Structure 1
Amino acid sequence: MKKFKIEFKWAVIMSIIFLAWMTLEKQLGFHDEKIKWQIAFTMLIILPNFLLYYLALSDKKKNYYNGVMNWRQGFISGVVLSFIVVFFSPITQFITHEFISPNYFDKLIAYSVESKKLTLADAQNYFNLTAYIWQSISGGLSFGVVIGAIVAYILKPKEQVSTNKSK
């Protein structure tokens, strides 16, 4: 476990940031009167998540690999981080939908049916805690692996270009 202490720390930070983001969405009305814009606003969380992955892998590079981390090491760290975040996702989804925004699903179902996007049965099947937990698991893994790979590439050592020109 000590090998992945940094990833665990950052997964906790990311989970707290997620809950803060959900609180912000709720406070700004995206779980109520602005619900039709909620999906667009939620997509903005990609920006802080990218930054958090960058900070997490930078922390790993500096404090575990002594400033030299290759792409593979960074990618593995990003994947491990993703799995730990996904492990916490049922808890963060529960907190979000039971405490932060307990009427969210009812309002989203009502909006989807009123706007004729879904039938009542389809909306109820799609917008519920179980479905959102599974979506957060699959989305968290795919997003985390891709972002981890990108950030690992950014943080890998730069290849040295030879400036020695022989005549």
Structure 2
Amino acid sequence: MKKITIELKWAIIVTALTLCWMLLEKTLGWHDEDIADHFWLTLFFLPFLVLMYVLALREKRRRYYHKKISWKQAFLSGVVMSIFVALLSPLGQYITHNYITPEYFNNVIDYSVTNNNMTIKKANDYFNINNYMMQAAIGSLVGGIVISAVVAIFLRRK
């Protein structure tokens, strides 16, 4: 367990940061009046996510590997963190869509149908809590693995 405590800690921090970001999005109106721009505005979260992986892998290098880490060690640490983030992401989606922005699905369905982006059936099938939980888990796992691979290149030390 001691081998993975740093990754678990940072996965919890990433989940908390994600919830704070959702609150910011809601406050800025990206989940209602500015929902048309929501998709690309959400990309502003990416640098913060990369920063979390950098900080996590730096801590792993410093505390666990005694300031020396190979690409493989850093990458595997990032993969473990990504797995924890993926496991926590359905909980984050549940909190987001039940407490932070419960009207999000209605707003995005209305927007998609009104602007002829989707039929009402396709919108209802796509914009729901179960689909978002699955997308969040898969997306955080795949995205975390990619981020880990890149960050590991810059953090390796011999």
Normalised TM-score (structure 2): 0.98
Structure 1 letter corresponding to 2:9? K
CA distance in 1 between counterparts of 2:130 and 2:44 reads 23
Tell me the SS of whatever aligns to 1:87. Answer: helix
Q: Which residue of 1 aligns with 2:68?
A: 68
Q: Which residue of 2 aligns with 1:165?
A: none
Tell me the SS of whatever aligns to 1:44. Answer: helix
- 1:43 is the counterpart of 2:43: yes
Residue 89 of structure 1, CA deviation = 0.5
Q: Deviations over 1:106-145 (max 9, x none)?
A: 0000000000000000000000000001111111111000
Identity %: 44
Specify every segment of 5 or more residues in structure 2 that has no aligned partner in the other structure, as ranges.
none
CA distance in 2 between counterparts of 1:134 and 1:43 reads 19
- 1:5 is the counterpart of 2:34: no
Residue 44 of structure 1, CA deviation = 1.3
The number of equivalent residue pairs is 158
- 1:145 is the counterpart of 2:145: yes
Q: Does the 8 Å contact 2:74/2:156 carry over to 1?
A: yes
Tell me the SS of whatever aligns to 2:117. Answer: coil
Q: Deviations over 1:40-60 (max 9, x none)?
A: 111111110000000000000
Q: Which residue of 1 aligns with 2:57?
A: 57
Residue 157 of structure 1, CA deviation = 1.9
Specify every segment of 5 or more residues in structure 1 that has no aligned partner in the other structure, as ranges.
159-167
CA distance in 2 between counterparts of 1:69 and 1:16 reads 27
- 1:17 is the counterpart of 2:9: no
Q: Deviations over 1:79-118 (max 9, x none)?
A: 0000000010010000000000000000000000000000
CA distance in 2 between counterparts of 1:80 and 1:150 reads 15
Alignment of 1:150-161 (within 5 A): 150-157=150-157
Structure 1 letter corresponding to 2:148? G
Residue 35 of structure 1, CA deviation = 0.4
Q: Which residue of 1 aligns with 2:88?
A: 88
Alignment of 1:83-162 (within 5 A): 83-157=83-157
CA distance in 2 between counterparts of 1:157 and 1:61 reads 8
* Moved >2 Å (runs of 4+): none
